Structure formats: structure tokens, C-alpha cells
Structure 1
């Protein structure tokens, strides 16, 4: 599954993000609007130019997607602290 990257921003299907965050895809838009799911987009520089790292945070979980400029997901990672809130350092770029 690819991610749409264009002049209007980045669009990710909730069916990709929801299961990784352990929520139903139908709940993703509302949780994002309510600020329960937050995100961070980092643009690659140097050897990573043209790539993006997209991070999504929900409760004690962080999901990261490394994506090409065409929207192909190259890598994904999940950090899950369970019932413990993520440390603030996990919410920072490069953290």
C-alpha cells in the first residue's frame, strides 16, 4: 500500500495506520481531529533526500513509517509502552 504525497500534503489510508496503532480504521479520523492521535513528518536530507519519516502517536504507542517520495512504504517500526505514556523524547524529531 502506498501513501499519497502531493502539493496538498500527505494522505495516508486509515486502514494502514489504524491496525498499527491498535484502533479501528473507522476511529482514526475522529481520534486525529480530537488530538488523541498526533503525528510528525520529517523530510529526509543528505542521503535521505526525497524520503519522509512519518510518526504517529497514540497513548503508549509510536508508529513510524519510512516512505519514498512516491509514497512507497520502505520500513515501519512500532514502539509500544503498553499502559505507560510514551516519554516526551519519543515525540521529538529523530527521537
Structure 2
């Protein structure tokens, strides 16, 4: 599986990607999602960002933000702590 797949307009993000961002193992991350401790949002780009999507995962004081295109290719990812960007990286090949 690629890191993000898109099917019928819905995004599926590889659990390992989210777990690693929050320094959790996959089982722990999935349990926290089921318990509502990790939440997610999807925003659709408009104007010059049309065709892009921001997928955001929140856990405690941290937020993982992924910018993806309509095919699920990760264009960028960033981690924010307390609303401040801590690291940002272009996706491989991007």
C-alpha cells in the first residue's frame, strides 16, 4: 500500500505513517483513534490549491499535516506542536 490511497473520493492513510509521526506503534495508534484521542480532518483546496487536499491528524498537542493530490501522492508533510511547525519535509521525489 502506498502511504495514501484514494478510492471513491475517500482517503485511506497508511497507519504506519500516522503512528510513526506520533511515536506510537500501529496497534496503539489504532486504539487511540477508536477512543477518539487521535482525530482527523480533510480540507479541500480552492483557488491555486484546487486539486490538493490537506489531511490533518491531531493527537494531544501535536498535528500531522499531509498535503496530497487527487491521486493520493503526498506532496508535503509537516508536524506542528502547540500550533508551531516543528519540521517540514517535501515528500520523496517532490
When normalised by structure 1's length, the TM-score is 0.78
By relative contact order (CA 8 Å, sep 6+), the higher-ranking structure is 1
CA RMSD of aligned residues (A): 1.5
> Which one has a larger percent helix, Structure 1 or Structure 2?
1
CA distance in 1, matches of 2:26, 2:37: 14
Aligned pairs, how many? 82
Structure 2 unpaired stretches of 5+: 84-94
CA distance in structure 1 between the partners assigned to 2:54 and 2:75 by the alignment: 10
| Structure 1 partner of 2:72 | 71
1:19-58 aligned at under 5 Å gives the runs 19-58=20-59
TM-score (norm 2): 0.78
Partner of 1:18: 19
Q: Report the 3-state secondary structure (helix = DSSP H, G, I; strand = E; otherwise coil) of the residue aligned with 1:22.
A: coil
Give per-residue Cα distances to partners, 1:5-32, cap 9 Å, x unaligned: 1216211111111111121122222211
Q: Structure 1 stretches of 5 or more lacking a match?
A: 87-95
Structure 1 residues 37 and 68: alpha-carbon distance in aligned structure 2, compared to 1, 3 A threshold: same
